[in-house]
Amino acid sequence: MDDEERTSVATPGAEPVPIGELPPPGVVPARMHAQVVRQDRFGDPAEAFRPEVVDTPRIGPGEVLIGVMAAGINYNNVWAARGYPVDQIAVRRKRGEPEDFHIGGSDASGIVYAVGEGVTGVEIGQHVIVHPGVWDADDPWIAAGRDPMIAPSAKIWGYDTNYGAFGQFARVQAHQLLPKAEHLSWEEAAAPTLVGTTAYRMLYGWAGNTLQSGDLVLVWGGSGGLGTQACQMVRAAGGRAVAVVSDDERGAFAMKHGAIGYINRREFGHWGVPPLVDDTAGQKEWSKDARAFGKKLWEIAGAREDPAIVFEHPGGATIPTSVFLCRPGGMVVICAGTTGFDAMVDLRYHWTRQKRLQGSHGTNDEQARAYNDLVRAGTIDPVLGRTVPFSEVPAAHAAMGRGEDVFGNVAVLVGAASPGQGRTC
C-alpha cells in the first residue's frame, strides 16, 4: 500500500504509556515505545536493537492497529538485526517507505485499538493473535485464486514489513487477525504462531506429500521452535516424529512434545557438503556415517522404514543426509538454511527414487486458521520455553543467534505487566 493512503489514528491529548501498560482500548497515543533496529547498528542483535520512542504507526484501508500485549521472538529478526542476508530497511526505502528504521516482531498477542477503512468483522477491544503472512489484496496472482503466500507481493509481517510486534502498537492487515486462545496467557498466545503456521504449511501444504496417519517424519531441531510444533502436529495426526537434537536434554524435551524418539546429531560427523561422486573413498566414508544415522532411525521406528517426510531448516549442513534418507516418493520440505545456504544434493538418490525437495515459506490465511484452531482446542501447546521483559529483546535475539535458545519458543512482555495474565477461561 502507498504510505500516503495511511492516516494517524492518534487520540488528541493521549500521552505515551510506560511498557507494561496500555491505555483503554480505542485510546491511541501519538508516540510509543519500541525496540528499534537502525542500519548503523547492524550486526550483533545485542547492539542492533535499542529502545526508542517513535511515532505510533498510521493505518490505511484494510489495516488494523493493535495494542501489543506480548510478542514472540523468532530467528528472522536475528537476520533483520544483522542486516544479512537482506537489509530490510534498504529494501523498504527502495519501495518508497519513509522510515529509516526497523521495528520487527512477527508474533503478537494483543487488543484491537483502531480499525481501517473497509475492514469488517473486527472490533475495538477484541483479543487477537496475528499470523505473519501479508500480501497486496489486489495482487493479480491472488485475484486469480492462487495461494497468496506464493504471490509476488507476499511478505512476512515484522520482518519484511515495518511496525511489527516489538512496539507498543503494531500495524497489521485485517486478514492476519485470529482469535486468541482463551486458555492461554498473553505470552503463551504470542509465542508459537509464526513457527506453528510455518510447520503446518510444511506438513499439510504440499499436495501429494501431506502428513498422513502412520507417517514416519524426521524432524531436525526437534527441541526448537519449529521442531516442537512439528513433533506435536505429527503426533496429533497419528504419525511418528523422530527428532534430531544435539544432546539428551534436548531429546527428552522433544519427546515431551510428541517425538517417539531422538537422534543425537553429535554422534555423527558427516555434515556439510559431502565428498564429490568421483571421490570413491570419501563417498564410502560419508555413506557409512549417513547409513549409521539412518540405522538409528530404523531402531527408533522399530523397522527398516525411511521417513515419508523430512522436516528441514538447518539446510547446508543436513540436506545431503535428508535427501539420502527420505523414502522413495517422499518429501524433504525446507523453510530455512540456518547452517548455510549452499546445499549439495546427490541427484542419483533424488531422481531415481523420485523424491521431492520442496521449499516452504510462511502461511496463508486458511493454514493459519487451521493451525490456530488446533491451539485453541488445546491439541497443540505453544511450548513457551522462556518469557523475557521488553528490555531483553536485544539479548534474547543475540542468544538465539548463538544457538542458545533451543527449548521451544521465547516470548516478550510488552503491554502485559507480568506473566500469566490474559487467560479468560
Closer to ligand NAP by CB, 221 or 422: give it: 221
- What is the CB-side half-sphere exposure of residue 270 using CA atoms within 13 A? 21
Q: Which region, judged by CB under 6 A, interacts with ligand NAP, from 1-9, 11-19, 88-96, 194-202? A: 194-202
Figure out which of the listed residues 58, 102, 250, 296 binds ligand NAP, where binding follows CB under 6 A.
Answer: 250
Residues 170 and 108 sit within 8 Å (Cβ to Cβ): yes
Half-sphere exposure of 416 (CA within 13 A, CB side): 27
Q: Which one, 9 or 195, has the nearer CB to ligand NAP?
A: 195
Of 203 and 226, nearer to ligand NAP (C-beta) is 226
Residues of span 9-38 touching ligand NAP by CB under 6 A: none
Residue 125 found at the interface with ligand NAP (CB under 6 A): no
Q: Give residues 348-387 in contact with ligand NAP (rule: CB under 6 A).
A: 361-362
Q: Which is nearer to ligand NAP, 56 or 409 (CB)?
A: 409
Q: Which three cell numbers stand for residue 380?
A: 497443540
Give the single-character DSSP code of 23: P
- CB closer to ligand NAP out of 109 and 363: 363
Total residues interacting with ligand NAP, rule: CB under 6 A = 32
Interface with ligand NAP by CB under 6 A: which range of 173-181, 302-310, 330-338, 348-356?
330-338
CA distances to 167, 175, 251 from 248, rounded to whole Å, are 37, 41, 5
Provide the sign of the torsion angle of the four alpha carbons 146, 149, 151, 153, taken in this order. Answer: positive
Q: Which stretch, 24-32, 53-61, 108-116, 221-229, contacts ligand NAP (CB under 6 A)?
A: 221-229
By the 8 A CB rule, do 207 and 333 touch? no
Q: Does 195 bind ligand NAP (CB under 6 A)?
A: yes
- Smallest distance from the beta carbon of 280 to ligand NAP, in angstroms? 27
Q: Which region, judged by CB under 6 A, interacts with ligand NAP, from 15-23, 64-72, 239-247, 278-286?
A: 239-247
Closest CB to ligand NAP among 27 and 206? 206
Quick check: 223 binds ligand NAP (CB under 6 A)?
Answer: yes
Q: Which of 151, 174, 336, 393 binds ligand NAP (CB under 6 A)?
A: 336
Choose which of 75, 166, 169, 371 interacts with ligand NAP (CB under 6 A): 75
Burial class (CB in 10 A: 0-12, 13-18, 19+), 171: buried
Exposed, middle or buried: residue 316 (CB in 10 Å: 0-12, 13-18, 19+)? middle
Rule CB under 6 A: is residue 193 a binding residue for ligand NAP? Answer: no
- Position 190 contacts ligand NAP (CB under 6 A): no
Give the separation between CA 372 and CA 370, rounded to whole angstroms. Answer: 6
- Tell me which residue of 36, 347, 327, 9 sits closest to 171, measured CA to CA: 9
- Please state at what angle helix 225-236 crosses helix 248-256, rounded to 10 degrees: 40
Which one, 258 or 362, has the nearer CB to ligand NAP? 362
Q: How far is the CB of 238 from ligand NAP (least distance, A)?
A: 23
- Which stretch of DSSP H or E encloses residue 253? helix 248-256
CB 172 within 8 A of CB 64: yes
Pick 270 or 313: Cβ nearer ligand NAP: 313
Burial class (CB in 10 A: 0-12, 13-18, 19+), 370: middle
Q: Does position 400 bind ligand NAP by CB under 6 A? A: yes
CA distance linking residue 41 with residue 47, whole number of Å = 6
What's the min distance (Å) between Cβ of 75 and ligand NAP? 3
Scored b (16 or more CB within 10 A) or e, 20-45 reads eebbeeebbbebbbbbbbeeebbebb
Q: Which residues contact 121 (CB under 8 A, 6 or more apart)?
A: 174
HSE-CB at 19 with a 13 A cutoff on CA atoms is 20
Residue 68 found at the interface with ligand NAP (CB under 6 A) = no
Please pick, from the candidates 35, 74, 176, 209, the single residue that binds ligand NAP as defined by CB under 6 A: 74
Among 338, 364, 367, 387, binds ligand NAP (CB under 6 A): 338
Contact between 219 and ligand NAP by CB under 6 A: the answer reads: no
**Residues in region 265-324 near ligand NAP by CB under 6 A:** 265, 313-314, 317-318
Nearest alpha-carbon partner for 364 in 204, 180, 167, 224: 204
Contact footprint for ligand NAP (CB under 6 A): 74-76, 194-195, 198, 220-221, 223-227, 244-246, 250, 265, 313-314, 317-318, 335-336, 338-339, 361-362, 400, 403, 405-406
